[in-house]
Amino acid sequence: MHIEVARASFRLRNVFTISRGSRTEAEVLTARVTQDGATGQGECVPYARYGETLDSVTAQIEGLHGAIDRAALQDALPPGAARNAVDCALWDLEAKRAGRRVWDLAGLPPPGPLVTAYTLSLDTPGKMRESAAQNAHRPLLKIKLGTPEDMPRLEAVRAGAPRARLIVDANEGWTAEVYADLAPHLLRLGVGMVEQPLPAGADDALGEMARPLPVCADESCHDRGSLPDLRGKYDMVNIKLDKTGGLTEALALRDAARAEGYRVMVGCMVGSSLAMAPAVLVAQGAEVVDLDGPLLLAEDRDAPLVYDEQGVHPPEAALWG
């Protein structure tokens, strides 16, 4: 077995801004695992918020030696981007060697297309209204917020897309006081869910506040080990493969979260179709799907995922799985 990792960069259609900063390209790592003439691949997006860099994640992957299977990988690497890329590459390798699709190997029903959110970058109210109007035909819009001056942005997006379903992602940008003030207005404007309003590690206040609309844990939820600390504070969990450390743990987290009564969102970092492909399997049946990464790109992988009026479709074998 041979494992290698390579860097790739994909230009974005527009500058993408959240409360923590802006970017003009998606920088990703591709892990490739070769055995017996077959090669599987997986993609990850190292995330500075979790102490990851392209160099540190590359070193983690290159530190793996000899043959390794998915079970051993769970102990060899911690949850995070490095394990995600290798885990998904191992799933892809197994599918190629068996001549079967990944969902068959995982004992899952064949996946179908999924309506996905489309993310509106944080900007001035005027530009966010313009962006909302341009995308008002989409059934679900996700609004990036996370500043103390977000009310004009909320009003602007609703004016630009009066009929679209809305969800909000604060990216840890609010205080308990700001969120308590905004919550009634989120309801008034028809927002269906708010994602990570308070910083992870400083979110205990959510357990003491009324939650008039569902609150989803993103930065506060990585893998199954996160679940005990979410009780009483969150109604949903956002499963991202770059947090769980791959498809293996993502599927396990989905089942464990459901068993504990949480609703499920499946999200993504800004990456290519290769990163989204395994997440489409996890997202089957999810209450909220946010797998719009390729829609934000100006360029993508060969054999990219198909997005149409039905949503995002499962990957072709030429891409992954």
Distance CA 222, CA 244 (A): 5
Which strand (E) or helix (H) includes residue 61?
Answer: helix 54-62
| Bridge partner list, 51 | none
Q: Report how many helices (DSSP H) and strands (DSSP E) the chain contains, helices first.
A: 10, 13
Tally Cβ neighbours within 10 Å of residue 238. Answer: 24
Is residue 144 flagged as an active site residue? yes
d(CA 44, CA 242): 6
Of residues 142, 144, 233, 243, which has the active-site annotation?
Answer: 144
3-state secondary structure of 46: coil
Q: 294-314: buried (b, 16+ CB within 10 Å) or exposed (e) per residue? A: bbbbeebbeebbebeeebbeb
**C-alpha to C-alpha distances, 168 to 223, 245, 303, nearest whole angstrom:** 22, 25, 31
Contact call for residues 274 and 253 (beta carbons, < 8 A) = no
Which single residue is written with the structure tokens 């009003």? 155
Q: What is the DSSP letter of 304?
A: P
User: Which structure tokens are listed for 153?
Assistant: 């942005």
Selected catalytic residue, list 96, 233, 240, 243: 240
Decide if 142 is catalytic.
no
Alpha-carbon distance values, 217 to 36, 199, 243 (Å): 41, 10, 12
d(CA 23, CA 15): 6
Cβ neighbours around 283 below 10 Å, total: 27
The beta strands (E) that lie in 132-283 are given as: 140-144, 165-169, 191-195, 215-217, 236-239, 263-266
Sign, CA dihedral 318-271-285-163, equals negative
Write out the catalytic residue numbers: 144, 240
